[in-house]
Amino acid sequence: MSTLSQNAPTSKARREETEDDVRAKRRKMEEEKQRESEQVEMKKLENLLFGSLYNPVSFGEKDGVVEGSDLFRVDRSAVRQTPDSEDDDDDDDDEQVSDDERVIRKGEAAWEDEEEKEININIASVNRLRKLRKEEDEGLISGSEYIARLRAHHAKLNPGTDWARTDSHITDGDSSDDGGEGDDDDDILKTNEDLVVKSGGSKLCSGLLEYSEHADANIADPSDAPINSVQFHQNAQLLLTAGNDRRLRFFQIDGKRNTKIQSIFLEDCPIHKAAFLPNGSQVIVSGRRKYFYSFDLENAKFDKIGPLVGREEKSLESFEVSQDSKTVAFMGNGGYILLVSTKTKELTGTLKMNGSVRSLAFSDDGKQLLSSGGDGQVYVWDLRTMKCLYKGVDEGSTCGTSLCSSPNGALFASGTDRGIVNIYKKAEFLGGKRKPIKTVDNLTSEIDFLKFNHDGQILAIISRMNKDSVKLVHVPSLTVFSNWPPPNKKMNYPRCLDFSPGSGFMAMGNASGKVLLYKLNHYMNA
pLDDT tens digits along 302-339: 999 989 999 999 999 999 999 999 999 999 999 999 99
Q: What is the pLDDT of residue 169?
A: 45
The pLDDT of residue 79 is above 60: no
Instruction: Residue 289: name the closest of 270, 311, 275, 276 by CA.
Output: 270
Q: What are phi and psi of 186, to 5 degrees?
A: -70, -20
Radius of gyration over alpha carbons of the chain, in Å?
A: 31
pLDDT tens digits along 266-290: 999 999 999 999 999 999 999 999 9
Q: What is the pLDDT of residue 448?
A: 96
Contacts of 449 (CB under 8 A, 6+ apart): 402, 415, 460, 461, 462, 464, 495, 496, 497
Q: What is the pLDDT of residue 324?
A: 94
Please say whether the beta carbons of 507 and 517 come within 8 A: yes
Environment class of residue 361 by beta-carbon count within 10 Å: exposed (0-12), middle (13-18) or buried (19+)? buried
Q: How many residues does the chain have?
A: 526
More confident residue, 122 or 288: 288
Cα–Cα distance, 116 to 55 (Å, whole number)? 45
Instruction: Residue 123: name the closest of 114, 115, 108, 133 by CA.
Output: 133
More confident residue, 111 or 308: 308
The pLDDT of residue 483 is above 70: yes
Give the predicted TM-score (pTM) of the model.
Answer: 0.65
Cα–Cα distance, 224 to 394 (Å, whole number)? 38
Please say whether the beta carbons of 228 and 272 come within 8 A: yes
Helix (H, G, I), strand (E, B) or coil at 32: helix
Share of the chain above pLDDT 90, in %: 57
Rounded average pLDDT over 43-62: 54
Domain boundary assignment for the chain: 266-352
Q: What is the pLDDT of residue 109?
A: 65
More confident residue, 154 or 68: 154
Q: What is the pLDDT of residue 328?
A: 97
Q: What is the pLDDT of residue 22?
A: 82
Cα–Cα distance, 95 to 85 (Å, whole number)? 11
Q: Give the DSSP letter of residue 496.
A: E
Q: Give the DSSP letter of residue 420.
A: -
Instruction: Residue 470: name the closest of 437, 508, 433, 436 by CA.
Output: 508
Instruction: Residue 201: name the closest of 455, 421, 437, 419 by CA.
Output: 455
**Structurally, what CATH architecture does the domain formed by 266-352 represent?**
Beta Barrel (2.40)
